[in-house]
């Protein structure tokens, strides 16, 4: 699900919290050593995301936020903030020539450059949380 989170909408925040859980507390985020990635450069997106990326010569960026039951991928388009909410049971990650995240028929491919190298520990943390979520809920990884 894609949400426009430019302006605070409390009903929307409740819906997001129901899908991926409430944000980690301050102490939990300290224990995890951070719950947000630094920014990634977007290389390409699926057709259902073409409206939320800049189609001019601008570079498109995104970052990933961890939640107890999933992740939120935040994409900025000029002054707007769009969030793709993905529960762990739908999350599929491919790490080949590009780093890509797939869920529910959509995908975002990110460039593997210096930003990717800086996020390697974050990506391992995301895999670990997904694995522990799957084990806790008796799901296949």
> For the domain 2-136, what is the CATH code?
2.30.29.30
Quote the pTM value: 0.90
CA 79 to chain centre: 19
- Give kind and range of the element (H or E) at residue 2: strand 2-4
For 97-125, what is each residue's pLDDT tens digit?
A: 889 999 988 999 999 888 888 888 899 99
pLDDT attached to residue 137: 81
Q: Where are the domains of the chain?
A: 2-136
Helices (H), the chain: 10-20, 26-31, 114-118, 120-136
């Amino acid at each position: 699900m894609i949400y426009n989170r430019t302006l605070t909408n409390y009903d929307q925040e409740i819906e997001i919290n129901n899908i991926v859980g409430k944000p980690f507390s301050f102490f939990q985020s300290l224990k995890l050593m951070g719950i947000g990635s630094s920014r990634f450069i977007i290389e390409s997106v699926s057709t259902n995301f073409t409206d939320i990326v800049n189609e001019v010569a601008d570079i498109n960026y995104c970052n990933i936020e961890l939640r107890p039951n999933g992740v939120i991928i935040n994409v900025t388009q000029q002054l707007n903030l769009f969030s793709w909410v993905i529960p762990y049971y739908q999350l599929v990650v491919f790490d080949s020539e590009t780093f890509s995240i797939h869920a529910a028929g959509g995908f975002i491919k990110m460039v593997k450059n210096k930003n990717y190298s800086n996020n390697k520990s974050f990506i391992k943390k995301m895999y670990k949380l997904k694995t522990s979520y799957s084990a806790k809920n008796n799901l296949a990884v």
